[in-house]
């Protein structure tokens, strides 16, 4: 032990000396580097900005990790001695690595360190600096992100790195992004010819960010002089801007229509259950919204179970929640029909009051069980994010899935009504109750099942709405008015009318919103519906023949 | 009515009020008789989410004060009522607290409309209300102490920050709000402020949405388009309540990053962020006078006491809680100084009272019934806390009447001689 111990000490000493000798020439530089890092950590905002620029200029390989720590807010200062360190989450606090030497500093409590203040602006600067540094990264995805970061920052100092990267780039998508970034930088070039060429390169693309850059060139300052001094470049930029504006305007209308369809699908989901209970059965069901709410809370409960028992399967929790919500809301609907509504058939005012009271009871019940605060329902990973078109229109996945889901539910419901025995009995009972009974149909059983079906569909709507709205006891209230509106507007008793009503209301609302604002737009739509109902009291798609009388 | 008439009416009111209040303490000022404190916060209905916490923090402060020997050698007793988020009921409950329960002071209200509803009651019965929430200003009542932020202690500094190089040098502004009095008044002040700073109306977009708005697709797309006009753009949000969640979600879904278009909110605090998926909100800003994350010994002690009292380590603290902390301690000091709980005496003793802020520095009560407090701007972090990115050098004096609205710039609120007035152009005496 003594011998090996001594030898170990000796080896260590030799090692330290060797290291010192090797480091000696760069020690002064190292001191500068450490000073820059310290300036980045504790300086005023302008000093931090200068420190980032100076650090990038050193070309030191340690810079990237430090800048990434700034961008991710992981840079810390140790309170005891002011040492700057990069932190990583650890069960007992933070595990620190010295930002300058890379030494492991062990795990500390988060109280013992101060987070380096890095606001949005600073983190953005760090991000674009990282972009410059990672243009040559072996991973094409990283290179693409780097090119995008440079494009957004228009940072002239990245030009040489960009040229070099562009020469070696093999991936087409990345090449395009780099060319775009290069042109964006050259918009600020001193040479008018280079600017002109950059405007032409960018003018061929349809991107809101490019419009923003071109618009900036054409801005007049207060004394009447333009940002862009060269007239030819200005003319080219104006032309390019007009062309982009024109293309974007077409896209924008397409975007409004898509948003309208999306709103329409939400309205359809909320109203389709009511189209059964109110439209087909004639029950003024004020507790319909609470069935939607029950569905949303079922989603929450299902997700909690998944979180506790099988966190790895969280992504499928929503698929499990759909049938669960159907069953919960459907059973609640059957219980309501058997317990209350069947005694009130043919007395619409009393039904209205009873179901209104019921809705208040259900809200308070949920408030008591789950608490008054909103519950957090997570989105599975396949519903997050968006498809970005180049024209700045984003189609978010959650909305896309909801459009799809609403159409599937609608098709399923049509199938049940047209192609199954239960559907046949339902239609028979609603068209002529006495005759249906005479034919041997158990009408009270059919009533209960029909109400259950309508409520169950409302429950499924709750699953979808939990993805875009707050899950709170008041969730249902915000949809009940819209639901009645859609059913009445579309034509009572007709599912196709509900479909047409939901989508036309959605699209009309979204086309009006940009011009009239959200509040006035809604009012205008309401007024239009009132006028429409005056003209056509039976709604868009009116039932014909004897069924109307039933 | 002439000046003489007004003085006569005011004098008569004061005489009547002091007759009333002199009667009350005489009946109950015996040694050991408790001092009654009214707590007027909604414990049910839509506002219960926010206001229940304030009731709890008041109970904690009263319990602590009793443990320290009460006030004037008398114990404190809380009288809790539930106005149920129902604005007219606020007025009824306020009357009940003052007339039947004979409380000496009331801590309460959250929304501006509830405050406006109780205001006539407090003025008629000469009660004393401590109002702890940031609000739109344009008010100074003799019977209310405003311990939350006035617009110049929250909205204006936030906009100044976003205008600065450090905050992103924004030149185009989107003012988004829920459609009611607080956002509309705040945005009116902000528009006047922006115009005064050389921002033309073309560079300001103002939009209002109904309460509980959930479909933000079009508005977010419009914001994006407005921001793509070649100048840095920032969004000032006075969106209230849970409509914020789908708003931030839509921002994130459409790929708008806080570094591109920062959103600064005046109604989003720790309590609103608790139990919410904060991922889409990270980097967006809020302006308050207090953040739970501020690292001072006072704040640490306050948070520890709160966790201890509520029995739950995960509960957060927020700005209105600090406002109650300051207001309550100032009231205690003023009562000790006045030697009585008489409203008129306590009011006089309130002016100039100092209490240490939980975030450092000292809050002072001014004669316009507003506080001097520091202003902090924070960016939202993943854990629902705020990272302070900017703060004022010292304290900012709360301004009851905004300097940026012409009609109110000329008004002065000052409840000491010779003004004795909440909205006058010249002194009364």
Q: What is the DSSP annotation of B13-36?
A: HHHHHHHHHHHHHHHH-STTPPEE
User: A 98-157 residues with CB below 8 A of B?
Assistant: 111, 114-115, 117, 119-121, 123-124, 127, 152
Question: Looking at the domain assignment, is residue A162 inside a domain?
Answer: yes
Q: What pLDDT score was predicted for residue A543? A: 66
In B, minimum Cα distance to A513 occurs at B218
Is there a domain that residue A496 lies in? yes
* Positive or negative: CA dihedral B183, B188, B189, B190: positive
Contacts of B209 in chain A (CB under 8 A): 518-519
Residue A201 lies in a domain: yes
CB–CB contact B212 A474 (8 Å) = yes
Q: Give B-chain residues touching A45 at CB under 8 angstroms.
A: 165-166
Name the residue with tokens 């939980």: B358
Please state, in angstroms and rounded to a whole number, the distance separating the CA atoms of residues A161 and A184: 14
Residue A234 is assigned to a structural domain of this protein = no
A517 touches chain B (CB under 8 A): yes
Nearest to A215 among B214, B229, B250 (CB): B229
| Residue in B with minimal Cα distance to A48 | B166
Classify A225 in phi/psi space as left (phi over 0), alpha (psi -120 to 50) or beta: beta
Alpha carbon distance, N-terminus to C-terminus of chain A: 102
Q: Say if A144 falls within a structural domain.
A: yes
Interchain contact, A372 vs B49, CB within 8 Å = yes
Q: How far is A161 from chain B (nearest CA, A)?
A: 24
CA distance B28 to B45: 35
Across the interface, whether the CB atoms of A212 and B381 are under 8 A apart is answered no
Q: How many residues does chain B have?
A: 429
Question: How far apart, in whole angstroms, are the C-alpha atoms of residue B40 and residue B37?
Answer: 10
Looking at the structure, tell me whether residues A291 and A330 fall in a common domain: yes
CATH code assigned at A165: 1.25.10.10
What does the pLDDT read at residue B166?
87
Judgement on whether residues A527 and A491 belong to the same structural domain of the protein: yes
* Chain B residues close to A210, C-beta within 8 Å: none
Nearest to A325 by CA among A448, A443, A444, A467: A467
CB–CB of B242 and A256 under 8 A? no
Q: Is the Cβ pair A256, B222 closer than 8 Å?
A: no
Are A104 and A47 within one domain? yes
Distance CA(A543)–CA(A293), nearest Å, equals 31
Q: Residues A48, A122: contact at Cβ < 8 Å?
A: yes
* Number of domains comprising chain A: 3
For residue A395, the 8-state DSSP code is E
CA B174 to chain A, closest CA, distance in angstroms equals: 14
A72 near B CB under 8 A: no
Which of residues A196, A229, A262 is at a domain's end?
A229
Alpha-helix residue ranges (DSSP H) falling in A275-347: 288-309, 317-339
Sort strands B204-209 and B172-178 into parallel, antiparallel or unpaired: parallel
Cα B373 from Cα A337, distance rounded (Å) = 59
CA distance A305 to A351: 36
**Which of A215, A266, A378 shows the shortest C-beta gap to B230?**
A215
Shortest distance between the Cα of B306 and any Cα of chain A, in A, equals: 19
- The CATH number that applies at residue A335 is 1.10.3470
pLDDT of residue B189: 93
Alpha-carbon distance values, B270 to A473, B267, B288 (Å): 22, 10, 11
Indicate whether A129 and A88 sit together in one domain: no
Same-domain status, A303 and A201: no
Residues A514 and A451 in one domain: yes
SS3 B258: coil
A433 touches chain B (CB under 8 A): no
Co-location of A359 and A281 in the same domain: yes
Q: Of A325, A296, A310, nearest to A470 (Cα)? A: A296
Residue A48: C-alpha distances to residues A79, A125, A388, B190, B284 (Å): 19, 10, 34, 30, 21
**Cα-flanking dihedrals φ and ψ of residue A549, to 5°?**
-70, -35
Give the gap in angstroms from C-alpha A337 to the nearest C-alpha of chain B.
28
Pairwise CB contact (< 8 Å): B283 & A266 = no
Q: What ipTM was estimated for this complex?
A: 0.74
Which regions in chain A score pLDDT beneath 50?
1-4, 6, 10-12, 14-27, 545-550
Question: Between B207, B229, B250, which is nearest A212 by CB?
Answer: B229
Same domain, yes or no, for A336 and A430? yes
Domain end: A118, A135, A152, which one?
A: A118
Are B253 and A394 in contact (CB < 8 Å)?
A: yes
* B427 and B418 Cβ atoms separated by less than 8 Å: yes
Q: Are residues A304 and A407 part of one domain?
A: yes
Pair A359, A289 in one domain: yes
Q: Provide the 8-state DSSP code for A279.
A: I
Option in A114, A219, A518 nearest B219 (CB): A518
pLDDT of res. B38: 96
Q: How far is it between the farthest Cα atoms of chain B?
A: 71
Whose tokens are 């202003």? That residue is B375
Q: Quick count: other Cβ atoms within 10 Å of Cβ A367?
A: 17
Enumerate the β-bridge partners of residue A387: A395
State how far residue B259 is from chain A, nearest Cα, in angstroms: 5
Nearest of A173, A217, A172 to residue A198 by alpha carbon? A217
Pairing state between β B105-108 and B129-131? parallel
Q: Is A513 on the interface with B (CB under 8 A)?
A: yes
Task: Look at residue A235 and tell me if it is in a domain.
Answer: no
Best to test chain B binding among A518, A520, A524, A525 (most B CBs inside 10 Å)? A518
- Test A212 with B228 for CB contact under 8 angstroms: yes
- Element housing B238 (H / E): strand B233-238
The verdict on a CB contact (< 8 Å) between A469 and B246 is yes
- Whether residues A413 and A518 share a domain: the answer is yes
Interface test with A, best of B178, B249, B253, B390 (most A CBs within 10 A): B253
Bridge partner residues of B233 (DSSP): B172
Q: Which domain holds residue A66?
A: 3-118
Let me know if residue A84 belongs to a domain: yes
* pLDDT score for B337: 95
Sorted by sequence, the CB contacts under 8 Å of residue A368 that are 6+ apart come out as none
pLDDT (tens digit, 9 = 90+) per residue, A34-53? 888 888 888 888 888 889 88
Supply the pLDDT for residue B91: 95
What DSSP state is assigned to residue A381?
A: G
Tokens 């004096």, located at residue: B397
d(CA A429, CA B376): 66
Contacts of B219 in chain A (CB under 8 A): 513, 518
Distance separating alpha carbons of residues A133 and B317, to the nearest angstrom: 41
> Sheet holding B105-108: strands in order across?
B76-81, B35-40, B105-108, B129-131, B144-146
Count of Cβ atoms closer than 10 Å to residue B238 Cβ? 23
Q: Which residue stretches of chain B have pLDDT < 70?
A: 1-31, 46, 275-276
A421 and A279 together in one domain = yes
CB pairs under 8 A between A and B: 135
pTM of the model: 0.79
Contact criterion met (CB < 8 Å) for A120 and B219: no
C-alpha of A20 from chain center: 53
Residues of chain B contacting residue A256, judged by C-beta atoms under 8 Å apart: 218
Where a domain ends, among A118, A152, A169? Answer: A118
Q: Does A240 fall in a domain?
A: no
Q: Do A510 and B46 touch (CB under 8 A)?
A: no
CB contact under 8 A, A120 and B230: no
């Amino acid at each position: 032990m003594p011998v090996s111990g001594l030898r170990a000490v000796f080896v260590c000493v030799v090692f330290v000396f060797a290291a010192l000798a090797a480091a000696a020439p760069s020690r002064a530089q190292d001191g500068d580097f450490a000073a820059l890092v310290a300036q980045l950590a504790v300086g005023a905002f302008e000093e931090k900005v200068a420190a980032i620029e100076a650090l990038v200029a050193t070309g030191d390989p340690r810079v990237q990790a430090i800048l990434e720590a700034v961008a991710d807010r992981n840079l810390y200062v140790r309170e005891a001695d002011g040492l700057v360190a990069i932190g990583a989450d650890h069960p007992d606090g933070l595990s620190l690595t010295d930002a300058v030497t890379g030494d492991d500093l062990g795990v500390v409590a988060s109280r013992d360190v101060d987070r380096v203040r890095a606001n949005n602006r600073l983190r953005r600067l760090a991000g674009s600096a990282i972009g410059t540094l990672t243009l040559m990264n072996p991973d094409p995805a990283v290179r693409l992100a780097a090119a995008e970061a440079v494009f957004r920052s228009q940072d002239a100092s990245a030009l040489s790195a960009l040229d070099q990267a562009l020469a070696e780039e093999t991936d087409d998508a990345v090449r395009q992004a780099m060319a775009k970034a290069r042109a964006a930088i050259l918009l600020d070039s001193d040479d008018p010819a280079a600017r002109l060429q950059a405007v032409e390169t960018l003018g061929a693309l349809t991107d809101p960010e490019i419009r923003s850059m071109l618009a900036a060139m054409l801005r007049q300052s207060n004394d009447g002089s333009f940002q862009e001094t060269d007239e030819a470049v200005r003319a080219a930029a104006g032309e390019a801007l007009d062309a982009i504006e024109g293309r974007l305007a077409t896209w924008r209308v397409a975007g409004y229509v898509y948003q309208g369809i999306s709103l329409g699908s939400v309205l359809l989901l909320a109203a389709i259950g009511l189209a059964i209970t109110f439209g087909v059965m004639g029950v003024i069901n004020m507790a319909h919204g609470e069935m939607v709410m029950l569905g949303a809370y079922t989603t929450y409960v299902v997700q909690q179970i998944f979180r506790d028992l099988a966190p790895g399967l969280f992504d499928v929790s929503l698929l499990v929640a759909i049938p669960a919500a159907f069953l919960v809301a459907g059973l609640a609907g059957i219980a309501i029909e058997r317990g209350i509504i069947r005694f009130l058939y043919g007395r619409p005012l009393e039904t209205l009051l009873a179901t209104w009271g019921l809705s208040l009871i259900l809200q308070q019940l949920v408030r008591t069980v789950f608490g008054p605060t909103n519950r957090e329902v997570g989105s599975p990973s396949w519903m997050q994010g968006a498809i970005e078109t180049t024209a700045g229109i984003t189609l978010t996945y959650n909305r896309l899935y909801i459009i799809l889901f609403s159409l599937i539910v609608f098709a399923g419901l049509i199938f049940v009504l047209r192609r199954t025995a239960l559907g046949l009995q339902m239609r028979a009972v609603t068209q002529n109750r006495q005759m249906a009974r005479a034919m041997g149909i158990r009408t009270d059983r059919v009533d209960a099942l029909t109400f259950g079906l309508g409520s169950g569909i409302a429950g499924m709507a709750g699953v979808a709405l939990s993805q875009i709205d707050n899950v709170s006891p008041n969730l249902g209230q915000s949809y009940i008015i819209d639901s009645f509106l859609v059913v009445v507007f579309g034509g009572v008793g007709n599912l196709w009318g509900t479909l047409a009503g939901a989508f036309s209301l959605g699209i009309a609302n979204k086309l009006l919103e940009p011009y009239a604002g959200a509040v006035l737009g809604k009012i205008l739509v309401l007024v239009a519906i009132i006028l429409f109902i005056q003209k056509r009291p039976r709604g868009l798609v009116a039932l014909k023949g004897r069924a109307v009388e039933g | 009515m002439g000046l003489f008439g007004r003085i006569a009416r005011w004098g008569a009111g004061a005489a009547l009020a002091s007759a009333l209040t002199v009667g009350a303490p005489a009946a109950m000022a015996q040694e050991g008789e408790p001092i009654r404190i009214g707590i007027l916060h909604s414990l049910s209905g839509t506002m219960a989410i926010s206001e229940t916490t304030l009731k709890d923090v008041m109970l904690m402060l009263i319990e602590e004060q009793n443990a320290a020997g009460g006030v004037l050698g008398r114990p404190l007793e809380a009288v809790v009522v539930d106005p149920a988020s129902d604005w007219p009921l606020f007025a009824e409950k306020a009357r009940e607290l003052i007339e039947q329960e004979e409380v000496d002071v009331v801590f309460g209200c959250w929304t501006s409309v509830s405050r406006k509803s109780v205001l006539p009651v407090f003025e008629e019965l000469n009660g004393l209300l401590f109002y702890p929430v940031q609000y739109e200003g344009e008010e100074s009542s003799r019977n209310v102490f405003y311990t939350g932020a006035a617009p110049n202690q929250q909205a204006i500094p936030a906009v100044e920050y976003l205008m600065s190089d450090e905050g992103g040098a924004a030149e185009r502004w989107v003012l988004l709000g829920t459609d009611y009095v607080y956002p509309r008044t705040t945005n009116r002040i902000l528009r006047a402020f922006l115009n005064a700073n050389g921002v033309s109306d073309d560079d300001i977009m103002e939009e209002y949405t109904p309460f509980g708005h959930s479909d933000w697709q079009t508005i977010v797309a419009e914001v994006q388009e407005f921001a793509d006009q070649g100048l840095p753009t920032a969004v000032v949000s006075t969106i209230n309540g849970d409509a914020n969640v789908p708003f931030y979600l839509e921002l994130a879904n459409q790929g708008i990053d806080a570094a591109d278009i920062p959103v600064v909110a005046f109604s989003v605090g720790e309590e609103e962020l608790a139990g919410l998926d904060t991922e889409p909100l990270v980097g967006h800003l809020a302006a308050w006078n207090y953040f739970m994350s501020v690292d001072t010994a006072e704040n640490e002690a306050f948070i520890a006491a709160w966790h201890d009292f509520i029995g739950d380590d995960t509960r957060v603290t927020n700005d209105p809680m600090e406002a109650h902390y300051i207001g309550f301690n100032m009231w205690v000091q003023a009562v000790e100084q006045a030697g009585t709980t008489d409203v008129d005496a306590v009011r006089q003793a309130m002016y100039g009272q100092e209490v240490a802020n939980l975030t450092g520095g000292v809050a002072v009560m001014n004669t316009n019934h507003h506080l001097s407090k520091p202003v902090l701007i924070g960016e939202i972090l993943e854990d629902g806390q705020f990272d302070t990115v900017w703060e004022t050098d010292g304290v900012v004096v709360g301004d009851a009447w905004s300097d940026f609205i012409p009609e109110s710039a000329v008004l002065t609120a000052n409840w000491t001689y010779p003004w004795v007035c909440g909205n006058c152009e010249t002194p009364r005496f």
